[in-house]
Amino acid sequence: METPNLIQKSIDTVRVLAADAVQKANSGHPGTPMALAPLGHILWSEVMRYNPKNPHWPNRDRFVLSCGHACMLQYAFLHLTGYEISLDDIKNFRQLHSITPGHPEYGLTPGIEVTTGPLGQGFANGVGMAVAQQYMAARYNQPDFEIFDYKIYAICSDGDIMEGVTAEAASLAGHLGLGNMIYFYDNNNITIEGDTDLAFDEDVSKRFEAYGWHVQNVSDIKDLQALRDAIDKAKNETERPSLINVRSVIGYGSPNKHNTAAAHGSPLGEDEVRLVKENFGFDPDKSFVIPPEVAEFYRKAGEKSAQHEENWNELYQNYKNSHPELAKEYEDITAGKLPADWHKNLPVFEAGEEMATRKASGKTLNAIAQYLPQLIGGSADLAPSTDTNLKDFKSFSAKNPDGRNFHFGIREHAMGAVLNGMALSNYLIPYGATFLIFSDYMRPPLRLASIMDICPIMVFTHDSIGLGEDGTTHQPIEQLIGLRTVPGMTVIRPADANETAQAWRVAIEHTDGQVCIVLTRQGIPIIDQQKFTSASELEKGAYILSDCDGEPEIILIASGSEVHLILEAQVNLKNENIRARVVSMPSWNLFDKQPADYREKIFPKNIRKRLAVEAGSPVGWMKYTTDNGDVIGIEKFGESAPADELFAEYGFTVENVVKKARDLLQKN
C-alpha cells in the first residue's frame, strides 16, 4: 500500500541512485536529479500514460527532459518503472557503449523520446510534438473516438529559459494555443558559474504570461499535493500551453553542497555521497541500493500505466471497424508506406525555358501534396520567396489544427527544432524553408536531426551569389560545405527544374536522416532530358549527364546552377577537339553511398584531369577532383550587384571554364 513513508523512501531512492551513478562515473550532474525527484515521482507514478513494454505506443504521453544533463533522473525512473534499462546500465552511466550516456539519446535508450542536452532544444522539440498531436487528432479523431489525445510533458531549467531558441519556441506555442503542452520550469537559481543573479533576474512567470501561456507557481517542489493540483489545472487548460514554475533546491539532501554550483556539474565526492545516504537513511557503505518495497512500488506503477495502452488498443480496434479508410491511411503512413505510384504525379518540365529551382520546387510540392497527407510545413516568414506554400490547403492554427501550411515566423532556430519534434511523431514528413544563408541560425537542430537519424526536410533557397543585389550579408559562401560535413545529412543541390522534382522524390522516400534541398533564386535553363541523361539519375548523387565520344580527357563536374555552364563548356571544348565528360553532382552524400563500381564508372581512376565548378567554397571538392584537378569556387564574400554581373566577376562563365580546362590539360 502506498504510504507517505513509502513515497518519501521512493523519492529518496532516486536521489541516492543519481548521486551513486554520477560518483561512479566520476562525471555528470547529480544536483538537478536530486532536486527534481519529487516531480519525477508524481509524473511516473501518477500522471503520465506510458507502457514500459512498448515505448512506442502511439498515444503515450511524451516526456522531454530539456535539461538533458539531468538525465540520471530519467534513467532512474525508466529503470524503476520497467523499461529495458537494467541496474547494470545505471552503473555504466556515461561509459563507452552504454545505453545511459551523459545526455539522453533518442534511439539508444528505451523510453527516450528525443535527444537533448544543448539547452533550449528539447523545449522547442516539444512544441513540434504538440503540433503533431494536434494535426493527427484533427485528421483522425472522430466522435467517440479520441484516438490521439496525448500530452507533452517537459522539464526545463534556468539554462533552457535563458537560451534564445526557447523564447522563439515559447512565443510560437503561445500564439498557436498548444494546450497539450505542460512544461515544468525547474527554478533552482543555480548555473555552473554560480547563482543565476549573475546574469539572469527576470520574472519568468510574467514573461510566459506575456507569451500567452497559462502559468502557475509551486513554491516548494517537495509539496507533492501542490504539484498534483497544478498539474490537474494544467490538464484542464486546453487552449493555452502551461508552464508550472517550480522552486527546487539543487543537490537537495547534500549537507555541504545543496543550493550551490558545486552540486551542478560535478560528482559530489565520496565523502559527501556518504553523508547524502546517511541523511536519507541509507547505508553509506552500500551503493546502488533499491529497497524491495520501492522496486515493487515503481514496477506496479509502470504496470498500471501500461493498462492505458490496453484500453487504447480496444478503442482503436473499434475505431478501425468504424473508420477503416482512416485507420488504413494512418497505419500505412506510420509503416512508412507511400501511395502506389505517387511519384508519377511529379511534374516534368520541358526544355526551352528558364526556371528558378525554387519555383520548380513550389510546383513540385503542390503537385504531390494532395497524395501525401503527412507532408506539412512552411517557412520562416519567407513562403513567397521560398515557394513553399501549399496552395490548396489551410494554414495550421489554433482554429485550424488540420492546416498544412505552417507559419514559423522569423524564427529559424525554433523552426529547425520544432520540425525535429514534428518528425519524431513517426507520422509527419515535415519541411521548413528559409534562405541558405540563414541555415547558420539553425545549426543546432540541423545537427541534432542527424544525430537522431530523423527525416525532416529543409528547403534552402537563394543558394549563391546568384541572389544578386541583396549582397554580402545574404550571399552564402561557406554554407554548402558546412552542411555537407554534418554526418548523416543528405544535401542535394539540383541542376534544374527536373532535378528539383527528383530531389523531392528522394527526400520524401528517404528514411536515413535529414535531407536539405538547396535551390536557386535566379532562373536557370531546363536541361533537355531527351538529349541528355534523365534527371531521375539524381538519386545516385552524381551521374554522367553528357559524355563524349571515346575516353574523356577531362571530367567537368558541377552542381546546381553551374551545371549549364559545364554543358556549354563541353560543346566549346569539343570544337577544340578536347573530349570532356559532364557530370552533374547534386549530392556528394548520395554519391558516396553508391557501390564502388558505379563510382568508378563516373570517375575512372585513370582520368585524373577533373574540374569542379560551384558557386561556393571550394573546400572538399578535392576528394572528387584529385590532386590533378582544380575547382572554380569562391573564397571570399560576395558583393551587391545583379546576378549576371556577379557570376562574371567571380569567374562563372563558359569562357573561364574552358580556359581552366585547357590549363589543366596542359599540366603534367
Query: 548 and 490: one domain?
Result: no
Within a domain: 335: no
In this predicted model, what pLDDT tens digit does every residue of 631-652 receive, in sequence order? 999 999 999 999 999 999 999 9
Angle between helix 654-666 and 563-575 (nearest 10): 60
521 is in an annotated binding site: yes
Query: 549 and 501: one domain?
Result: no
Domain boundary among 307, 331, 351: 307
Query: 411 and 487: one domain?
Result: yes
Q: pLDDT at position 172, please? A: 98
Spatial CA neighbour of 581 closest among 626, 608, 549: 549
What mean pLDDT comes out for the span 152-176?
98
Q: What is the DSSP string of 467-479?
A: G-TT-GGG--SSH
In this predicted model, what pLDDT tens digit does every residue of 554-568 receive, in sequence order? 999 999 999 999 999
What mean pLDDT comes out for the span 192-201?
93
474 is in an annotated binding site: yes
Spatial CA neighbour of 212 closest among 183, 152, 160, 171: 171
Active site annotation includes 325: no
Domain span holding position 441: 342-526
Distance CA 109, CA 95 (A): 14
* Phi and psi angles of residue 599, each rounded to the nearest 5 degrees, phi first: -60, -35
CATH number of the domain that residue 636 is part of:
3.40.50.920
Domain boundary among 257, 285, 307: 307
Query: 53 and 104: one domain?
Result: yes
Residue 2 pLDDT greater than 80, yes or no: no
Query: 590 and 470: one domain?
Result: no
Residue 660 pLDDT greater than 80, yes or no: yes
Within a domain: 224: yes
424 is in an annotated binding site: no
Q: pLDDT at position 1, please? A: 57
Within a domain: 397: yes
CATH number of the domain that residue 154 is part of:
3.40.50.970
State the chain's mean pLDDT as an integer. 97
Within a domain: 532: no
What mean pLDDT comes out for the span 432-453?
98
Among 412, 499, 562, 614, the one annotated catalytic: 412
Query: 216 and 142: one domain?
Result: yes
* 515-518 and 524-525 beta bridge pairing: unpaired
Q: What is the DSSP string of 154-172?
A: EEEEHHHHHSHHHHHHHHH
The tally of domains found in the chain comes to 3
The DSSP output letter for 46 is I
SS3 539: helix
| Confidence class for position 424, pLDDT limits 50, 70, 90 | very high
In this predicted model, what pLDDT tens digit does every residue of 341-387 receive, in sequence order? 999 999 999 999 999 999 999 999 999 999 999 999 999 999 999 99
Q: What is the DSSP string of 378-429?
A: EESS-HHHHT---TTSPBP-SS-TT--EEE--S-HHHHHHHHHHHHTTSS-E
Within a domain: 479: yes
663 is in an annotated binding site: no
Query: 430 and 467: one domain?
Result: yes
Dihedral class, residue 342 (left if φ above 0, else alpha if ψ from -120 to 50, else beta): alpha
Distance CA 474, CA 521 (A): 12
What mean pLDDT comes out for the span 101-119?
98
Round to the nearest angstrom and report the end-to-end CA distance of the chain.
Answer: 86
Q: Which residues contact 367 (CB under 8 A, 6 or more apart)?
A: 345, 346, 347
Residue 69 pLDDT greater than 70, yes or no: yes
Query: 191 and 83: one domain?
Result: yes
Residue 654 pLDDT greater than 60, yes or no: yes
Domain boundary among 526, 550, 567: 526
Q: pLDDT at position 27, please? A: 97
Within a domain: 534: no
264 is in an annotated binding site: yes
Query: 104 and 230: one domain?
Result: yes
Within a domain: 20: no
Distance CA 416, CA 378 (A): 11
Q: pLDDT at position 601, please? A: 98
In this predicted model, what pLDDT tens digit does every residue of 9-21 receive, in sequence order? 999 999 999 999 9
Query: 101 and 148: one domain?
Result: yes
What mean pLDDT comes out for the span 99-124?
98
190 is in an annotated binding site: yes
Query: 511 and 566: one domain?
Result: no
Query: 488 and 581: one domain?
Result: no
Q: Which residues contact 17 (CB under 8 A, 6 or more apart)?
A: 72, 76, 90, 288, 290
41 is in an annotated binding site: no
117 is in an annotated binding site: yes
119 is in an annotated binding site: yes
Within a domain: 653: yes
Integer-rounded Cα Rg, in Å, for the chain is 28
